[in-house]
Amino acid sequence: MTTIAAARHLQLDPGRITAGAGAIALNAALLMLLMVPIAAPPVLEREQTELIDFVPVRPRPVPPPEPVEVPVTRQPPREQAEPRPVRQAVTQPPSETTDMPQPGDLVVPPGDEHVIEIPADPQPPADTGGPLQGAHLQYASAPPPAYPREALVEGITGTVMLRVLVDVDGRPLEVSVQRSSGHRALDAAARRQVLSKWRFHPAMRNGIAVQAIGVVPVEFKLD
């Protein structure tokens, strides 16, 4: 009887086993929850700014253009003409007019007139484009002028230097006073007489009569 009762006592009760297992599992779960530490709040990670480096793109070098060969046409050397001899023009000196006897110094009484000739300046080179300048005029006819009455009364004397332009026929074309005698009456009388009454031998240039300009003196003098 005892053996049978012990055997009955040793038989497992499934309901109790299940309830005990559940209680153990619950206690274990609670224990685990207590053992888990409190988790720290999540840390926000700082946003990292990405730095972008801009690398300039270097342009590719442009290759230089290929040289274009231009065909060169060679011209044959020109023949240099032989220099021709230069002919130099020979300027012939102007022919001098025939020397004529020149009137000397004359002293005349009051009322008479006389003319004194002073040698002209050396003749400059001939100017082919105009009258012969500084010519030594040769007289063909040179009657003295009348002595002005007022100058005669006042006893005025003097020498007038006249600049005369002589035409190719020997006639005076222009007469001007180059140097005054100091008295208008003497200057006017001398100029009027030379322009209207005097005649000259025409000046010659290379055998041709040309116009000439020279200076002649007219003197008024009292004894």
**Interatomic CA distance for residues 108 and 115, integer angstroms:** 10
Whose tokens are 């230097």? That residue is 161
Within 10 Å of residue 64's Cβ, how many Cβ atoms? 6
**Interatomic CA distance for residues 128 and 112, integer angstroms:** 41
107-154 pLDDT, tens digit each: 444 545 555 555 555 554 544 568 989 889 999 999 999 999 999 998
Determine the topology of domain 138-220 in CATH: TolA/TonB C-terminal domain (3.30.2420)
End-to-end CA distance of the chain: 225
The low-confidence residues of the chain, meaning pLDDT below 70, are: 1-14, 36-59, 68, 70-129
Do the Cβ atoms of 213 and 191 come closer than 8 Å?
no
Q: Whole-prediction pTM value?
A: 0.43
Q: Where are the beta strands (DSSP E) in 25-150?
A: 138-141
Q: Is 206 left (phi over 0), alpha (psi -120 to 50) or beta?
A: left
Tokens of 21: 């297992």
Give the pLDDT score at 169.
94
71 has which bridge partners?
Answer: none
Give the pLDDT score at 126.
46
Whose tokens are 């010519």? That residue is 135
Give the pLDDT score at 138.
93
